[in-house]
Amino acid sequence: MSDTPEARVQRELEEGIQRDFSASMSYGSYLDLDRLLSAQHPRSVPPQHDELLFIVQHQVAELWLKLMLHELRSARVLLTTDDLAPALKRLARVKHIQNQLTEQWSVLATLTPSEYAQIRPFLATSSGFQSYQYRAVEFMLGNKNRDMVAVFDHDPTAKDLLSEALGEPSLYDEFLRYLHRRGYAIPQAVLERDVTTPYRMDDDLVDVFAGVYADPSQHWGVYETCEELVDIEDNFQTWRFRHLQVVTRTIGHKTGTGGSSGVDFLRRALDLTFFPELYAVRTRIGG
Residues marked as binding for heme? 243
Contact 44, 51 (CB under 8 A): yes
Q: Which residues touch 130 (CB under 8 Å, ≥6 apart)?
A: 151, 152, 258
Q: Which residues are annotated as a binding site for substrate?
A: 54-58, 116, 120, 257
Q: Whose CA is closest to 138, among 272, 261, 245?
A: 272
To the nearest 10°, report the CA torsion of 129, 130, 132, 136: 30
Q: Which residues touch 103 (CB under 8 Å, ≥6 apart)?
A: none
Contact 133, 62 (CB under 8 A): yes
Which ranges of the chain would DSSP assign to H, the alpha helix? Answer: 27-30, 33-36, 51-80, 84-108, 113-119, 132-141, 146-150, 156-167, 171-181, 188-191, 203-214, 220-251, 263-269, 276-280
Q: Which residues are annotated as a binding site?
A: 54-58, 116, 120, 243, 257
